[in-house]
Structures are given as structure tokens and as C-alpha cells.
């Protein structure tokens, strides 16, 4: 059964889908449609790659982001050849967790990893990955969590709003689903050493690589970015992720993870100054990275501390150059922490952008107001629900607070369209 | 191409307008469906098209084009379509050998102009004098998307110079059309982009602006399209006409309807 990628494998006219050698620049780029008889395998010798599945809508090849709830929101998963941008929350706690989920998923599926960081040694990051949960364990976790909650409440079943009782909190596949696509992880435990070493992991630690001066084409990018791009390109072409080694039968996905891109540790000053000197360095880097990703079987996750970037133009440009954009806003230390509205959750999650690849329309989820919470073992994303106002003094001031907070919610919505004003009714 | 949009714009592939500059903007939503529309429209109208695609790969446009009824690979083979893929060329510049012809020379240094890009467009669209070039109706330049050039270090003035030269060559000299997509942004957010958009808005004869709805996300109405005709070439100052329609994007088509009259509501 053939699956679609974002397209770089050269096609011969109606024949086998063998990629041409050398990844030549003059090659006609095309790819296979899902063949009408999936079991026939006629003419296309392309075994499906572990850990991927074609999208139900247009056959695009997808990989899991490590968090099945996030996969649902992103239209089934991350498309191969695209870039996932995570806008970090204030103290980089939860975005780091999403980053680790992505890498852990790569290890469980057997993909090759490339880990780049400027502040932490990649081996240390690998040691801290969460352990995958087995199906029955996850079900036990969920039951534990819900039983904790119901101890505090007298009524579990709703008396008045009983119709809402059956409404799902999130559309969930559940861990027992037939496709082994997404996995669940236990954040309180570490992944075992033999599992980590079972996949090939490339590392890029900036303080090690930056010792030598660049003797390669730099195109006015900062030193760190240039080195990283060359390193990524070298791995992609050497290991054949762009189809340059046709003799390799088993294709694999390269998962690239870059931590805290744009921070001063990378030599970039967009987070420090209002009119930075390296105004275009990060955007140029993202553009070349996009080009590399589109031409290979790889997916990339980057985290950017956007809350530190003063120049809003740069944030907008970074978003336009990425395919999928997810923003995290944690309540830690902010004024919202004390707000009773949000006492069940740890932060809000905004899906700012979803790519429209190979079609006119993208897979947008209907749920726009999403919040996350990190329980003892699992990270869940749920629809944000406002609790009933059960305070003794239902005063006017608390109502105003509610309205203010509700205003913040729907401003973060709208992947398809965004409105300028908020109509609060 | 979307037949409903052709009706709204009063054009058809049999008799398209010539010598126009159309500006596509998108504000907080994705306006790339307009690019796909114009690409398939001009290919069906038998024009020679030079497509500068800076943001997506060739296969993306090809697949969408197949849904809209044009085959980009065949068009490129018979010489009707000249496709410049920005992503691929940039990767080649950075990692390839030195002898590559660098049409994207501006990527290497900052503060350069887009002269090499213009020369490529000029070479692609000027009829070379042999017989088959005369079989196309008129040349069309399609750019997706100009705001990316600002992200790559080109200044807004350089982009404006590029468009001006393209218009002079393609619209005035060769009697063709130019279509370009720009992101719309507030002045407070991105000043260079706002400058670019305002300047291009004044030069264009037709502006299509895809916006989000004021009230936020809706599953059945994906956005709002503002069509603005500016009578630039007319000798007497014609009133600029503007129409607003709402649209819903489907897999192979986009349906347009008047404001508030979405089929989901009626």
C-alpha cells in the first residue's frame, strides 16, 4: 500500500515508485496516490514505514506528535515534511514536555532522531524521556484520576444537565485502538536505557560545534544556525532520507528536535533587543529548514521563546514560515493562577495554525478553547469548561472577572479565520 | 479555477482581461486558494505562466491543480508553465556547488535587489521568437508570496522595484498580467509589510482580500472575500466598485455567497 509524502520521490510514468539516485535537482517531483486496491501492491514497492499512517482525508503521510490528544487536534498527526512550531510558555516547562513526547514517540516507533540544543547536552535530554505506558496501565491511570475527583463530589451523575453527561471531554481514540499510531507515556518514570539506545540518535550541541570557524557558505545567518543547517543536510543526505540511497529497502523517518531556537544561546539577539541586528537570521534559517524538510522524509519540532521576542513582526513571520503552530500559555506565576476559573488546569493551549498541504483545506478541529493539565503521570488536553459560579457572594465584580477571562479565551481561537473584535454574548 | 469566482469577477478563460495587476491579500486567514484559482485559470486560458513559488513545493500545487482540472507537469513539459521553486533553489544555493546559476542571489547577502529574479522572469516570459511561443495568448506572472521575501532579508523598497519592473515588462510591454499574494498585517505589527501592501494596493487594478469573519471561527463559513475594482486604465475616473462575499472552501471547489446567506443557515 502506498502512502503520500509531501512529495519528492520522482515518479516514472505509471510504473514503480523507485526514487532516482542522487536526489537530482532536475527530478520531477511527484508521489504516489493511495492505490485503489490497497492490498494489490502492483508496481509500487513501498513498504509502509513504522510509526506512520496515511491521513484519512488526502492520504498524506502522518507521524504522531507523541500525544494522541494533540494528534487529534492537528488533524490526525504531523505530516511528514513539515515543521511543528511550539511557542514556549513562560518558564519552558510544558513546551519542554511536548518536546520530549515527540522524541519519545520517535524512539518507540524506531525512527532516527536528531537532537539539537544550545543549552542542554542532548544526551541529558535523552535520559529524561518519559517511559511508554502499556494499554492496561493507561486505563488504570485514567480510572485513578477520575476516582480522585469523584471523592470530593457528592453527585457524580448530573441531575439537571443530564444530557451533557454523555458528552465526551475530548474526542478520544483510546489506547486500545487498532492502529498503533500514538502512544501514551508516563511522565513520572524514565525511559529505559536499552530502549534509548535501540535507535540511532544524532546530536548537535552548540558549544561543541561552534569552536571552528565556518568555512562553508553562510548567507548572512548566524554561525550557530549555519552549522546546524549543514549538520541537518549532511545527515539527511548521508543516511538517505531524501531518496539518495535507493539500495536501502527499509525507509525510515528522521525526527529533528531543536530546542529554544531564537534564544540568545544560539547567538541570536531577537529576544534581547527591540531592533535586533540579526533581524532575518531566524527567518532565513526557517526557510532553508522548510526546504530541507520538504525534500526528505523528516519532521521537525522546534520550540521558540516567542514571549521574549519584542518585535511582533518577527513572531508573525516565524508563524508564516512554519506549518503547524501550537502556543502554550501556562498559568504559573500569572494573574490567572489565582483565578478560580482555571483552578482545574495548568494552562491554555492554542492551535494557531494548521497546514493546508496538497489540498485547498486543512483539518481543523472544532474545539477552540483548550486547556491542558499535567497530572502526576499524564499530560491531558481538554476542552476548557467554566465551572459554575458557586461563590457565596455572586457579586458584580466577580462577574466582570469572568467576562474578562472569557474574553481572553476566544481571542486565541480561529485557525481558519480570526475576527478583530470580540462580541461578548 | 472556481466557476463562481469567475462569475463574480466577470471573466472567463475564453476572454480574460489583459494588462492588469491583481493583488491578493489575506488577513488572519489563508488566501492560498486564490493562488490556486488564478494558476488554473490562466493555464486553462492558454496563457504562458511564470510561477514564482516561494512557499510551497511543486508537488503541492500539482496535486491541488489536478483537483481543479489542470496538469502542471504536462504544462511544464510543453513549455506553458515556467516554475521557479524557491525552496529547492535556496537549498541548492546553501549546500550546492558554486557553479549553480544563482537566481536567488539575494539570499546570500542582505540589502540586495531582486534583479536576478527579474531577469529570470523576463527571460521566461519574453517570446523567444520561435514558432511555438506565439501559440500562447499572453504572458502571466504569478508570485506566491511576496511577504516571504521580506522575511528573507529583502527590503520592501527592493520588492516594490521588482514588481514595478515586472509590471512595466509584463503588463505594459507584453500586454500580460501580474498576480501577486501579500499578507495583510497591521501597521503596528509589521511595518515593512504594511508599506508593501499599501503601495501595491495603489498600483493594482483588482484587489482580492480574503479575511476572517469578524465574529471568529465558523465551520460553514470560512471567511470573507472583498473584491475591489479600481479603474486605473480608464480615461475618466471611474468609481471604484467593491463587493463583499463570504465563502466556504471544499475539497475541489470554493462556493461563494452573499453575506449571511450561507447554505448552512438558510
CB contact at 8 A, A405 and A398: no
Beta bridge pairs of residue A330: A347
Residue B161 C-alpha cell reads as: 522595484
Q: Does residue A421 have a pLDDT over 50? A: no
Q: Does residue A117 have a pLDDT over 90? A: yes
Nearest Cα to A381, choosing from A73, A66, A64? A73
Nearest Cα to A349, choosing from A364, A374, A371? A371
Q: Is residue A145 part of a domain?
A: yes
pLDDT digits (tens, 9 = 90+) for B30-41: 889 999 999 999
Mean per-residue pLDDT for B148-170? 92
CB contact at 8 A, B10 and B261: no
Beta bridge pairs of residue B182: B25
Least confident of A45-54, A94-103, B149-158: A45-54
Question: pLDDT confidence of A88, banded at 50, 70, 90?
Answer: very high
Residues of chain A contacting B259 with CB distance shorter than 8 Å: none
Mean per-residue pLDDT for B185-192? 81
CB contact at 8 A, A320 and B29: no
Nearest Cα to A65, choosing from A301, A254, A357, A258? A301
Question: pLDDT confidence of B103, banded at 50, 70, 90?
Answer: low
Q: Is residue A423 part of a domain?
A: no
Residue A267 C-alpha cell reads as: 547567538
Considering CB atoms only, which of A284, A317, A360 is closest to B33? A360
User: Does A307 contact chain B (CB < 8 Å)?
Assistant: no
Residues of chain A contacting B32 with CB distance shorter than 8 Å: 356
Mean per-residue pLDDT for B18-28? 90
- Window 175-234 of B, Cβ < 8 Å to A: 183, 185, 188-193, 211-219, 222-224
Give the per-residue pLDDT at A178: 33
- Closest residue in B to A280 (Cα–Cα): B153
- How many separate helices (H) and strands (E) can be counted in chain A? 10, 14
B178 DSSP assignment:
E
Q: Is residue A104 part of a domain?
A: yes
B172 DSSP assignment:
I
Number of domains in chain A: 1
Give the per-residue pLDDT at A300: 95
Residues of chain B contacting A262 with CB distance shorter than 8 Å: none
- B98 to chain A nearest CA, in Å? 10
Return the residue matching grid coordinates 487594478: B205
Q: Is residue A342 part of a domain?
A: yes
Considering CB atoms only, which of B32, B87, B193 is closest to A356? B32
User: Does B250 contact chain A (CB < 8 Å)?
Assistant: yes
Looking at per-residue pLDDT, the higher value among A4 and B116 belongs to: B116
* Residues A38, A42: Cα–Cα separation, whole Å: 9
Residue B254 C-alpha cell reads as: 470554493
Residues of chain B contacting A410 with CB distance shorter than 8 Å: 216
Give the per-residue pLDDT at B61: 94
Residue A74 C-alpha cell reads as: 492537528
Return the residue matching grid coordinates 561543541: A208
User: What percentage of chain A exceeds 90 in pLDDT?
Assistant: 28
Give the per-residue pLDDT at A205: 92
- The DSSP annotation for A189-208 comes to EEPPHHHHTTS-EEEEEHHH
* Residues A344, A367: Cα–Cα separation, whole Å: 18
Considering CB atoms only, which of B63, B216, B224 is closest to A358? B63
Residues of chain A contacting B107 with CB distance shorter than 8 Å: 219, 284
Q: Does residue A410 have a pLDDT over 80? A: no
* Residues A130, A108: Cα–Cα separation, whole Å: 11
Mean per-residue pLDDT for A14-23? 35
Question: pLDDT confidence of A50, banded at 50, 70, 90?
Answer: confident
Give the per-residue pLDDT at B97: 66
DSSP, collapsed to helix, strand or coil, labels residue A257 as strand
* Residues B142, B232: Cα–Cα separation, whole Å: 20
Residues of chain B contacting A368 with CB distance shorter than 8 Å: 217
CB contact at 8 A, A86 and A103: no
User: Does B148 contact chain A (CB < 8 Å)?
Assistant: yes
Cross-chain Cβ contact A417/B185 below 8 Å: no
Residue A321 C-alpha cell reads as: 514560515
Mean per-residue pLDDT for B200-206? 91
Considering CB atoms only, which of B191, B217, B251 is closest to A361? B251
Give the per-residue pLDDT at B130: 59
Q: Does residue A5 have a pLDDT over 50? A: no
pLDDT digits (tens, 9 = 90+) for A188-245: 889 889 888 999 999 999 888 877 665 666 667 888 898 999 999 999 988 888 877 7
Give the per-residue pLDDT at A408: 52
pLDDT digits (tens, 9 = 90+) for A348-363: 999 998 888 888 888 7
User: Does A288 contact chain B (CB < 8 Å)?
Assistant: yes
Give the per-residue pLDDT at A166: 64
Residues of chain A contacting B158 with CB distance shorter than 8 Å: none
Q: Is residue A49 part of a domain?
A: no
Give the per-residue pLDDT at B72: 94
- Window 41-70 of B, Cβ < 8 Å to A: 56-60, 62-64, 67
Give the per-residue pLDDT at A420: 43
A60 DSSP assignment:
B
Cross-chain Cβ contact B153/A280 below 8 Å: yes
- A366 to chain B nearest CA, in Å? 7
Considering CB atoms only, which of A279, A410, A416 is closest to B223? A416
CB contact at 8 A, B208 and A405: no
Quick count: other Cβ atoms within 10 Å of Cβ A174? 10
Q: Which domain holds residue A190?
A: 61-149+168-383
- Window 150-179 of B, Cβ < 8 Å to A: 150-153
The burial of A104, by beta-carbon neighbours within 10 Å (0-12 exposed, 13-18 middle, 19 or more buried), is given as buried
Looking at per-residue pLDDT, the higher value among A174 and A201 belongs to: A201
Residue A314: HSE in the Cβ half-sphere, 13 Å Cα cutoff:
30
Q: Does residue A41 have a pLDDT over 50? A: no
Q: Does residue B64 have a pLDDT over 80? A: yes
Cross-chain Cβ contact B28/A359 below 8 Å: no
Return the residue matching grid coordinates 483537483: B67
Question: pLDDT confidence of A288, banded at 50, 70, 90?
Answer: very high
Q: Does residue A318 have a pLDDT over 70? A: yes
Give the per-residue pLDDT at A317: 92
Residues of chain A contacting B62 with CB distance shorter than 8 Å: 7, 29-30
Least confident of A174-183, A264-273, B102-111, B169-178: A174-183
Asked, as a colleague might, if the bond just before A367 is cis with ω within 30 of 0, I would say no
Alpha-carbon distance values, A163 to A37, A156, A170, A172, A387 (Å): 43, 14, 16, 19, 17
- A358 to chain B nearest CA, in Å? 5
Q: Where are the domains of chain B?
A: 3-211
Cross-chain Cβ contact A6/B57 below 8 Å: yes
Give the per-residue pLDDT at A174: 41
Give the per-residue pLDDT at A40: 36
Residues of chain A contacting B216 with CB distance shorter than 8 Å: 410, 413-414, 417-419, 422
* Mean pLDDT computed over every residue of chain B: 86
Residues of chain B contacting A282 with CB distance shorter than 8 Å: none
Residues 6+ apart with CB under 8 A from A227: A204, A206, A209, A210, A214
Residue A281 C-alpha cell reads as: 537570521
- Closest residue in B to A295 (Cα–Cα): B88
Mean per-residue pLDDT for B193-206? 91
* Residues B110, B236: Cα–Cα separation, whole Å: 43
Q: Does residue A345 have a pLDDT over 80? A: yes
Give the per-residue pLDDT at B112: 76
Mean per-residue pLDDT for A403-424? 48
Looking at per-residue pLDDT, the higher value among A262 and A155 belongs to: A262
DSSP, collapsed to helix, strand or coil, labels residue A96 as helix
pLDDT digits (tens, 9 = 90+) for B232-246: 655 455 567 888 999
Mean per-residue pLDDT for A371-393? 80
Phi-psi domain of B216 (left: phi exceeds 0; alpha: psi -120 through 50; beta: other): left
pLDDT digits (tens, 9 = 90+) for B104-151: 777 777 667 888 889 889 988 887 765 555 678 889 999 988 999 999
User: Does B110 contact chain A (CB < 8 Å)?
Assistant: yes
Phi first, then psi: give them for residue B102, nearest 5 degrees: -100, 90
CATH number (domain holding residue A173): 3.40.50.300
Interface test with A, best of B29, B53, B94, B211 (most A CBs within 10 A): B94
Q: Does residue A389 have a pLDDT over 90? A: no
- A68 to chain B nearest CA, in Å? 23
The ipTM is 0.92
Cross-chain Cβ contact B92/A25 below 8 Å: yes
Q: Does residue A55 have a pLDDT over 50? A: yes
* CATH architecture classification, B3-211: 3-Layer(aba) Sandwich (3.40)
User: Does A410 contact chain B (CB < 8 Å)?
Assistant: yes
Q: Does residue A338 have a pLDDT over 50? A: yes
Least confident of A206-215, A291-300, A304-313, B86-95: A206-215
Considering CB atoms only, which of B63, B193, B212 is closest to A419? B212
Residues 6+ apart with CB under 8 A from B47: B16, B80, B136, B137, B138, B139, B140, B176, B177
Cross-chain Cβ contact B148/A320 below 8 Å: yes
* Confidence (pTM): 0.83
Alpha-carbon distance values, A411 to A384, A423, B13, B112 (Å): 14, 11, 41, 38
Q: Does residue A1 have a pLDDT over 50? A: no
Residue B192: HSE in the Cβ half-sphere, 13 Å Cα cutoff:
22
- The DSSP annotation for B39-76 comes to HHHHHHTT-EEEEEE-SS-HHHHHHHHHHHT--HHHHH
Amino acid at each position: 500500500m502506498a502512502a503520500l509524502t509531501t512529495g519528492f520521490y520522482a515518479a516514472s510514468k505509471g510504473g514503480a515508485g523507485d526514487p532516482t539516485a542522487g536526489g537530482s535537482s532536475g527530478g520531477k517531483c511527484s508521489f504516489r496516490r493511495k492505490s485503489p486496491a490497497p492490498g494489490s501492491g502492483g508496481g509500487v514497492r513501498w513498504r509502509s514505514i513504522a510509526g506512520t499512517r496515511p491521513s484519512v482525508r488526502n492520504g498524506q503521510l502522518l507521524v504522531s506528535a507523541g500525544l494522541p490528544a494533540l494528534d487529534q487536534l492537528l488533524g490526525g498527526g504531523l505530516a511528514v515534511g513539515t515543521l511543528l512550531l511550539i511557542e514556549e510558555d513562560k518558564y519552558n516547562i510544558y513546551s519542554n514536555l511536548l518536546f520530549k513526547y515527540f522524541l519519545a514517540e520517535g524512539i518507540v516507533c524506531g525512527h532516527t532522531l536528531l537532537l539539537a540544543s544550545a543549552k542542554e547536552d542532548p544526551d541529558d535530554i535523552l535520559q529524561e524521556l518519559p517511559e511508554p505506558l502499556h494499554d492496561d496501565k493507561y486505563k488504570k491511570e485514567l480510572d485513578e484520576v477520575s476516582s480522585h475527583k469523584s471523592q470530593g463530589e457528592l453527585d457524580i451523575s448530573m441531575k439537571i444537565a443530564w444530557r451533557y453527561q454523555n458528552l465526551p471531554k475530548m474526542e478520544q481514540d483510546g489506547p486500545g485502538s487498532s492502529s498503533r499510531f500514538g502512544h501514551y507515556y508516563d511522565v513520572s518514570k524514565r525511559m529505559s536505557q536499552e530502549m534509548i539506545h535501540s535507535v540511532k540518535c544524532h546530536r548537535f550541541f552548540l558549544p561543541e560545534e561552534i569552536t571552528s570557524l565556518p568555512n562553508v557558505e553562510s548567507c548572512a545567518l548566524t554561525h550557530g544556525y549555519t552549522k546546524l543547517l549543514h549538520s541537518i543536510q549532511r545527515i539527511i543526505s548521508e543516511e538517505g532520507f531524501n531518496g539518495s540511497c535507493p539500495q536501502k529497502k527499509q525507509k525510515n523517518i528522521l525526527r529533528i528536535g531543536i530546542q529554544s531556537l531564537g534564544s540568545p544561546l544560539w547567538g541570536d539577539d531577537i529576544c534581547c533587543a527591540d531592533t535586533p541586528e540579526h533581524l532575518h537570521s531566524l527567518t532565513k534559517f526557517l526557510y532553508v529548514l522548510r526546504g530541507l524538510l520538504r525534500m526528505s522524509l523528516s519532521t521537525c519540532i522546534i520550540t521558540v521563546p516567542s514571549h521574549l521576542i519584542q518585535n511582533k513582526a518577527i513572531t508573525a513571520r516565524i508563524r508564516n514560515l512554519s506549518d503547524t503552530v501550537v502556543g502554550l500559555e501556562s498559568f504559573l506565576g500569572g494573574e490567572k493562577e489565582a483565578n478560580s476559573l482555571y483552578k482545574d488546569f495548568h494552562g491554555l493551549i492554542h492551535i494557531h495554525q494548521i497546514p493546508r498541504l496538497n489540498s485547498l483545506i486543512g483539518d481543523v478541529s472544532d474545539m477552540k478553547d483548550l486547556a491542558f493539565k499535567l497530572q502526576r503521570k499524564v499530560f491531558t488536553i481538554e476542552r476548557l469548561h467554566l465551572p459554575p459560579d458557586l461563590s457565596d457572594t455572586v457579586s458584580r465584580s466577580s462577574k466582570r472577572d469572568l467576562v474578562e477571562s472569557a474574553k481572553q479565551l476566544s481571542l486565541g481561537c480561529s485557525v481558519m479565520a480570526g475576527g478583530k473584535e470580540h462580541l461578548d454574548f | 479555477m472556481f466557476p463562481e469566482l469567475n462569475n463574480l469577477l466577470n471573466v472567463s478563460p475564453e476572454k480574460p482581461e489583459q494588462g492588469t495587476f491583481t493583488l491578493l491579500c489575506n488577513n488572519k486567514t489563508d488566501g492560498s486558494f486564490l493562488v490556486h484559482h488564478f494558476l488554473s485559470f490562466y493555464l486553462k486560458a492558454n496563457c504562458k505562466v511564470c510561477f514564482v513559488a516561494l512557499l510551497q513545493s511543486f508537488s503541492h500545487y500539482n496535486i491541488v491543480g489536478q483537483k481543479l482540472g489542470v496538469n502542471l507537469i504536462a504544462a511544464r513539459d510543453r513549455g506553458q508553465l515556467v516554475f521557479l521553486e524557491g525552496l529547492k533553489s535556496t537549498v541548492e544555493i546553501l549546500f550546492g556547488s558554486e557553479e549553480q546559476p544563482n537566481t536567488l542571489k539575494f539570499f546570500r547577502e542582505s540589502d540586495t535587489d531582486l534583479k536576478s529574479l527579474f531577469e529570470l522572469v523576463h527571460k521566461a516570459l519574453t517570446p523567444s521568437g520561435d514558432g511555438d511561443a506565439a501559440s500562447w495568448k499572453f504572458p502571466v506572472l504569478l508570485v506566491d508570496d511576496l511577504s516571504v521575501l521580506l522575511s528573507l532579508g529583502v527590503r520592501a523598497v527592493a520588492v516594490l522595484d521588482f514588481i514595478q519592473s515586472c509590471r512595466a515588462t509584463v503588463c505594459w510591454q507584453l500586454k500580460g498580467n501580474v498576480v501577486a499574494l501579500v499578507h495583510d498585517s497591521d501597521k503596528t505589527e509589521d511595518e515593512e509589510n504594511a508599506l508593501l501592501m499599501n503601495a501595491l494596493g495603489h498600483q493594482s487594478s483588482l484587489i482580492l482580500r480574503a479575511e476572517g469573519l469578524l465574529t471568529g471561527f465558523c465551520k460553514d463559513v470560512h471567511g470573507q472575500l472583498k473584491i475591489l475594482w479600481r479603474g486605473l486604465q480608464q480615461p475618466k475616473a471611474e468609481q471604484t466598485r467593491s463587493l463583499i462575499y463570504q465563502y466556504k472552501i471544499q475539497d475541489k471547489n470554493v462556493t461563494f455567497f452573499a453575506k449571511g446567506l450561507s447554505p448552512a443557515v438558510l
